[in-house]
Amino acid sequence: MKRDLFAIALFGVVLVAVAALAQSGVLLTFVMMSLYAALLSQAWNILGGYGGQLSFGHALFFGVGAYAQALGQLNLGLNPWLVLPMAIALGALVGVAVGGLTFRYGLKGSYFALVTLAFAEVFRILALSASFTGGGVGLMVPLQEGVANMQFGSRRGYIYLLLAFVLLALLVTAWLRHSRFGAYLQAVRDNEDAARAIGVNPLRVKLGGIALSAAFMSVAGAFYVQVFQYIDPGIAFGSAVSVEALVGAIVGGMGTLWGPLLGAVTLHALADLTRNLFGELPGISMVIYGVVLILIVMFMPRGITGGGQSLGRLFGMKERARV
């Protein structure tokens, strides 16, 4: 645990230094969006990686957090800092509700994935139909720059705020790696019947896992609203957010501390690179991005961190053989 805490603290110091010293707006935007993608993947990893419950509809919790953050300011006139914990709590409650409806009946694997996707689609249709959500037009939060309004005049302010969220997600993940609850969650993932036989309550453990995961997805949704001052049903509950969250975790390494972060940064860098190199050729950048993604999954099925560990063991074995 101490090693994880030291690594997380070092990561935070390095990112603060990068944000403080960077003069390029492009670099600051890249750091901000990479951290945003990392938060999505880290949130998904709590349930999908450590809990073994593969969700295709995590945009549901993102959208709940985003709309709660927007409506709390527009309809209730509350300060964004006061709305944020409410949005997080609401996202966690929705997560528990979805978990209660699915885990209680033993849904897992592809069945759970499809049900979460269906829930996200239902919420998207409801948001399109409801007047208080702005329907298809969406909601716009007025621009009121200032720390008190959680709207900053530069990317640096958003980076510092987002970094705090990512560090908190990393700390929670590190806690899962070393805590009793985390051990229960992984035991349920590996063999639910065996976990039940030793006294673990699978339903309670999985509900805790989905609540944590949904809470961090809600944070990402609230952050999105504060940065872009806009949300609509397609952005909030569409499949793009769910795919970005799960792909980052899968590419980086599910069930690991740093995998989702590495996967999110790698994919974001790859997307920017292909867009800059082949942006003039319609569709080529996405084709190259897809091919590289397929190659990563094929040749590193345990993700970047798993591939790195395998290489480390391989070279370690070679060194010992030489000795």
Q: Which of 166-175, 272-281, 312-321 has the lowest mean pLDDT?
A: 312-321
Query: Is 226 exposed, middle or buried (CB count within 10 Å of its CB: 0-12, 13-18, 19+)?
Result: buried
* Backbone phi and psi for residue 130, each to the nearest 5 degrees, phi listed first: -80, 145
pTM of structure: 0.91
CA atoms within 13 A on the CB side of 166: 30
* DSSP symbols for 239-267: HHHHHHHHHHHHHH-TT-SSHHHHHHHHH
Residue 29 has pLDDT above 50, yes or no: yes
Q: How would residue 321 be classed by pLDDT, with cut points 50, 70 and 90?
A: very low
Q: How would residue 296 be classed by pLDDT, with cut points 50, 70 and 90?
A: confident
**Rounded-to-integer distance, Cα 44 and Cα 193, Å:** 24
Residue 323 has pLDDT above 90, yes or no: no
What are 30-43's pLDDT values in tens digits?
A: 999 999 999 999 99
**Rounded-to-integer distance, Cα 35 and Cα 46, Å:** 17
Packing angle, helices 25-45 and 155-178, rounded to 10: 30
What are 253-293's pLDDT values in tens digits?
A: 999 999 999 999 998 888 888 888 776 677 776 787 778 77
Q: Which of 71-75, 186-190, 254-258, 316-320 has the lowest mean pLDDT?
A: 316-320
SS3 80: helix
* Backbone phi and psi for residue 291, each to the nearest 5 degrees, phi listed first: -65, -45
Cβ contact 37:244 at 8 Å: yes
| One-letter-per-residue 3-state SS of 134-191 | CHHHCEECCCCCEHHHCECCCHHHHHHHHHHHHHHHHHHHHHHHHCHHHHHHHHHHHC
Percent pLDDT > 90 in the chain is: 75
Residue 227 has pLDDT above 70, yes or no: yes
* Amino acid 317: pLDDT: 44
Q: Indicate left, alpha or beta for 145 from its phi (over 0: left) and psi (-120 to 50: alpha).
A: beta
- Cα(first)–Cα(last) distance of the chain, in Å? 32
Residue 82 has pLDDT above 80, yes or no: yes
Cβ contact 219:88 at 8 Å: yes
Q: What are the helix and strand counts (H, E) for the chain?
A: 14, 2
Q: How would residue 305 be classed by pLDDT, with cut points 50, 70 and 90?
A: confident
Packing angle, helices 303-322 and 239-252, rounded to 10: 10
* Amino acid 318: pLDDT: 46
Q: How would residue 54 be classed by pLDDT, with cut points 50, 70 and 90?
A: very high
* Amino acid 320: pLDDT: 42
In one letter, which amino acid is 235?
Answer: I
**Rounded-to-integer distance, Cα 235 and Cα 40, Å:** 14
**Rounded-to-integer distance, Cα 255 and Cα 52, Å:** 8
**Rounded-to-integer distance, Cα 259 and Cα 251, Å:** 8
Cβ contact 25:247 at 8 Å: no
* Amino acid 12: pLDDT: 96
Tell me the pLDDT of the chain averaged across its residues: 90
Q: How would residue 100 be classed by pLDDT, with cut points 50, 70 and 90?
A: very high
* Amino acid 308: pLDDT: 59
Q: Which of 120-134, 147-161, 296-310 has the lowest mean pLDDT?
A: 296-310
Cβ contact 261:252 at 8 Å: yes
SS3 302: coil
Residue 139 has pLDDT above 90, yes or no: yes
Cβ contact 56:238 at 8 Å: no
